[in-house]
């Protein structure tokens, strides 16, 4: 019997001034979702069922950038994307441009299981959602007050470096640094000051008790993105990958992740260079990201788990069958 | 070492008894595109310019499934996608869900060079094309008589299978095989210049709302400093096998030659589903496929050139 293992993430690239309270809230959410994953693994559920279930939980909570609480497009709407991959036979499903589907990862699963296609997007994906009878809601369901505030800051940050005459709206309520009114422009992710940047994506990777691996990733994407912008999360090989050796989910600067086909590369160096999971993860983050900032979580069929990031923090949690369980944000 | 170029007009179930009137214009197009690409390389154009140029030419040709001549959905509409990658910078640009942009590959290049993003799709991509002043045409431009006729035949064929007493709504579906053309997805081009710079471009027509392998970096398109690859065939197979990336990964991580890497990748995919063209920084070329045929052409600086289907 193989050993199970699970890792989850809530995004890479965290504001170093994130208030203590927010950090605690995030860790509580990570612990809760991790526990759900652990319980279902102990109950011998399959890897692909577990990753879907855990990512659904992460999507439903507004804390992280996926489902409810997704980052907003330049138009102030939400456009979500997700992908899921089953290491057995490497079946996969992906969706982009969702505006009403409550749980994008579940639609991605349906694309994998119930359609002859791998990737559906925008109107085609929404239509498929209706055909399949998945739960849909108004776009406003996904939009939080906090993100409306963040979008405004992001637009200001994109157009002007910083104008001290303009008071930052909601500086006392949103997760931008409470102690300082100046966005920390020294640390940037994807062109945005880190206090405004919304760590992209949530994800989960699992190896179950039969040794099968699966991965799933879901996101609202980049804050203030052009409508129609697709990131790495729905792209198999970039944001998500699973095969019989391992499963990976990535987060961070989407463009850097795509360029380096980050998720696939972890598996490729294991497969073609014979590296073990940790070596593969270290190699890829160090050698393949160039100047990009990103992080990833990974599990191997041997029950190992690995997390790595070159960004400022990554919301994450890991657990293995021999009792190890930990959540974290910083290095 | 020297420059090299390879291009394809799609891999699939191309019947070996393809009539001359279908075969000749396609071979002529491959010849024309090859000559265009070779002339550009000889003139010292960058591989990125070369692959875009050739892909545009292939998109404009109504005989291949990309741009004009894209396969039609049952609604008689066209939706296109493309991607381009610069091996030197690893910059990439991808587009999906285009309905009016005459040259999808050019929009992909503009996304790469003029936005902080890599991938734009649907309304956002169409709006961006207009902002950037790219040529757009009404849907009717992309629809060829040939494809209208094929769509008509397909619908008639489907009706025969349906119980006449209960007319069924015809759902969105791929046009069933006829003369092997409808299985032919995608056009692509890879090139390397005398300095070893590489680039890859792939473009195709798609069913509405569905994204295939073509705009997925690592699946349909990939280029780095070692090789450039453009794949064609069954989208699902290309995506889950990360075809384009794997050729490069086998060379990079396992030290295989282009020939061995390309052959292995093709052999590991289900038979009848994929083909690819690839070049390396050293000027090697490979064009393997596990389908019945693949419209293809290649040329290298030492004078060798080839145009083939099976």
Residue labelled with tokens 């020297």: B2
Percent residues over pLDDT 70 in chain A: 91
Average pLDDT value over all residues in chain B: 88
B137 at interface of A, judged by CB pairs closer than 8 A:
no
Give yes or no for a contact between A41 and A208, defined as CB atoms under 8 angstroms apart.
yes
SS3 B280: strand
Give yes or no for a contact between B172 and B75, defined as CB atoms under 8 angstroms apart.
yes
* pLDDT band with cut points at 50, 70 and 90 for residue B69: confident
Of B92, B120, B235, the CB nearest to A118: B235
pLDDT tens per residue, range A216-242: 999 999 899 999 999 999 999 999 999
CA of A230: how far to CAs of A98, A241, B181, in Å? 11, 17, 30
Q: Which residues of B108-126 are buried (b: 16+ CB within 10 A; e: fewer)?
A: bbbbbeebebbbbbbebbb
Average pLDDT value over all residues in chain A: 90
**Residue in A with minimal Cα distance to B240:** A90
Of A121, A128, A269, the CB nearest to B253: A269
* pLDDT band with cut points at 50, 70 and 90 for residue B158: low
pLDDT of residue B68: 79
Interface predicted TM-score of the whole assembly (ipTM), two decimals: 0.90
pLDDT tens per residue, range A65-92: 999 999 999 999 999 999 999 999 999 9
pLDDT tens per residue, range B166-184: 333 333 344 333 333 444 4
Choose the weakest-confidence range: A278-292, B150-164, B261-275: B150-164
Interface test with A, best of B88, B101, B119, B238 (most A CBs within 10 A): B119
Distance of CA B292 to the CA centre of its chain: 17
pLDDT of residue A186: 66
User: What is the mean pLDDT of the segment spanning B59-84?
Assistant: 83
pLDDT of residue A236: 98
B246 at interface of A, judged by CB pairs closer than 8 A:
yes
Interface test with B, best of A77, A219, A261, A267 (most B CBs within 10 A): A261
Q: Which residues of B touch A237 (CB under 8 A)?
A: 216-219, 239, 242, 245
pLDDT of residue B73: 67
What is the secondary structure of A147-205 as a DSSP string? Answer: HHHHHHHHHHHHH-S--TTSPPTTTTTSSS-SS-SS--TTSEETTEETTT---B-EEEE
Give yes or no for a contact between A201 and A217, defined as CB atoms under 8 angstroms apart.
yes
Q: Which residues of A touch B120 (CB under 8 A)?
A: 226, 228-230
Interface test with A, best of B78, B98, B253 (most A CBs within 10 A): B253
pLDDT of residue A192: 78
Catalytic status, residue B204: no
pLDDT tens per residue, range A153-206: 999 887 643 333 333 344 433 334 333 344 445 688 877 787 777 776 999 999
Contact B240 A97 (CB under 8 A): no
Contact B123 A254 (CB under 8 A): no
The first and second tokens of residue A269, run together, are 């160096």
Choose the weakest-confidence range: A72-81, A269-278, B19-28, B74-83: B74-83
Using the predicted structure, report yes or no on whether residue B75 has a pLDDT greater than 80.
Answer: no
Task: Return residues 203-222 of B near A (CB < 8 Å).
Answer: 208-212, 216-219, 222
Of A117, A228, A237, the CB nearest to B218: A237
User: What is the mean pLDDT of the segment spanning B181-202?
Assistant: 86
pLDDT of residue A159: 62
**When comparing pLDDT for B221 and B152, which is higher?**
B221
pLDDT of residue B163: 29
pLDDT of residue A162: 35
Burial of A2 (0-12, 13-18, 19+ CB in 10 A): middle
pLDDT tens per residue, range B106-117: 999 999 999 989
pLDDT tens per residue, range A97-127: 999 999 999 999 999 999 989 999 999 999 9
Choose the weakest-confidence range: B173-182, B189-198, B217-226, B254-263: B173-182
pLDDT of residue A295: 97
pLDDT tens per residue, range B254-283: 999 999 999 999 999 999 999 999 999 999
User: What is the mean pLDDT of the segment spanning B193-220?
Assistant: 93
Q: Which residues of B touch A228 (CB under 8 A)?
A: 97, 120-125, 127-128
Question: How far apart are the C-alpha atoms of A80 and A68, rounded to whole Å?
Answer: 10
For residue B164, give how far its alpha carbon lies from the nearest alpha carbon of chain A (Å).
25
Four-point Cα dihedral A82, B75, A130, A80, nearest 10:
20
**Residue in B with minimal Cα distance to A85:** B240
pLDDT of residue B171: 39
User: What is the mean pLDDT of the segment spanning B217-238?
Assistant: 97
> Which residues, 6 or more positions from B93, have their beta carbon under 8 angstroms from its beta carbon?
B83, B84, B85, B107, B108, B109, B110, B111, B112, B113, B118, B119
Give yes or no for a contact between A38 and A219, defined as CB atoms under 8 angstroms apart.
no
Q: Which residues of A touch B96 (CB under 8 A)?
A: 121, 230
């Amino acid at each position: 019997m193989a050993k199970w293992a699970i890792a989850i993430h809530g995004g890479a690239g965290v504001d170093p001034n994130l208030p203590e309270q927010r950090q605690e809230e995030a860790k509580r959410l990570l612990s809760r979702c991790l526990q759900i994953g652990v319980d279902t693994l102990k109950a011998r559920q399959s890897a692909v069922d577990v990753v879907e279930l855990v990512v659904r939980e992460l999507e439903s909570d507004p804390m992280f950038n996926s489902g409810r609480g997704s980052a907003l497009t330049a138009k102030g709407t939400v456009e979500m994307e997700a992908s899921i991959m089953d290491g057995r036979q490497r079946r996969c499903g992906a969706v982009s441009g969702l505006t009403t589907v409550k749980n994008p990862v579940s639609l991605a699963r349906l694309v994998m299981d119930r359609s002859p296609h791998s990737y559906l997007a925008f109107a085609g994906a929404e239509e498929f959602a209706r055909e399949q009878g998945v739960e849909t809601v108004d776009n406003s369901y996904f939009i939080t007050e906090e993100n409306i505030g963040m979008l405004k800051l992001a637009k200001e940050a994109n157009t002007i470096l910083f104008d001290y005459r303009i008071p930052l709206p909601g500086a006392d309520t949103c997760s931008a640094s409470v102690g300082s009114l100046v966005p920390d422009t020294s640390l940037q992710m994807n062109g945005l000051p880190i206090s405004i940047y919304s760590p992209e994506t949530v994800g989960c990777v699992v190896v179950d008790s039969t040794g099968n691996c699966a991965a799933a990733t879901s996101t609202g994407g980049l804050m203030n993105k052009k409508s129609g912008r697709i990131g790495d999360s729905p792209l198999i090989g970039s944001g998500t990958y699973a095969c019989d050796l391992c499963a990976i989910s990535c987060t961070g600067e989407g463009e850097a992740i795509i360029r380096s086909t980050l998720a696939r590369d972890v598996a490729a160096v294991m497969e073609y260079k014979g590296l073990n999971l940790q070596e593969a993860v270290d190699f890829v983050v160090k050698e393949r990201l160039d100047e990009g900032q990103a992080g990833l979580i990974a599990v191997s069929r041997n029950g190992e788990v690995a997390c790595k990031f070159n960004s400022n923090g990554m919301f994450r949690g890991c657990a293995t069958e021999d009792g190890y369980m930990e959540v974290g944000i910083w290095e | 070492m020297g420059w090299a170029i390879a291009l394809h007009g799609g891999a699939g179930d191309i019947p070996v008894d393809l009539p001359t009137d279908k075969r000749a214009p396609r071979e002529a197009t491959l010849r024309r595109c090859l000559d265009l690409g070779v002339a550009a390389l000889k003139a010292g154009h960058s591989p990125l310019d070369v692959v875009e140029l050739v892909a545009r030419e292939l998109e404009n040709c109504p005989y291949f499934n990309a741009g004009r001549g894209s396969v039609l959905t049952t609604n008689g509409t066209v939706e296109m996608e493309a991607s381009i990658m610069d091996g030197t910078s690893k910059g990439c640009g991808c587009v999906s869900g285009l309905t009016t942009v005459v040259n999808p590959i050019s929009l992909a290049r503009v996304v790469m060079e003029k936005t902080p993003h890599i991938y734009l799709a649907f309304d956002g991509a169409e709006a961006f094309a207009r902002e950037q002043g790219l040529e757009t045409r009404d849907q009717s431009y992309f629809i060829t008589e040939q494809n209208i006729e094929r769509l008509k035949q397909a619908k008639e064929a489907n009706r025969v299978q349906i119980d006449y007493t209960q007319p069924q709504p015809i759902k969105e579906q791929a046009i069933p095989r006829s003369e092997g053309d409808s299985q032919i997805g995608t056009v692509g081009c890879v090139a390397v210049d005398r300095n070893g710079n590489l680039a890859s471009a792939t473009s195709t027509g798609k069913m509405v709302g569905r994204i295939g392998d073509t705009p997925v970096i690592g699946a349909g398109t990939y280029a780095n400093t070692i090789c450039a690859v453009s794949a064609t065939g069954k989208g699902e197979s290309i995506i889950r096998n990360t075809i384009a990336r794997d050729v490069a990964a086998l060379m990079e991580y396992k030290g295989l030659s282009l020939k061995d890497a390309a052959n292995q990748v093709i052999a590991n995919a289900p038979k009848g589903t994929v083909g690819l063209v690839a070049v390396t920084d050293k000027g090697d070329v490979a064009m393997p496929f596990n389908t019945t045929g693949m419209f293809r052409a290649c040329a290298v600086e030492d004078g060798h050139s080839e145009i083939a289907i099976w």
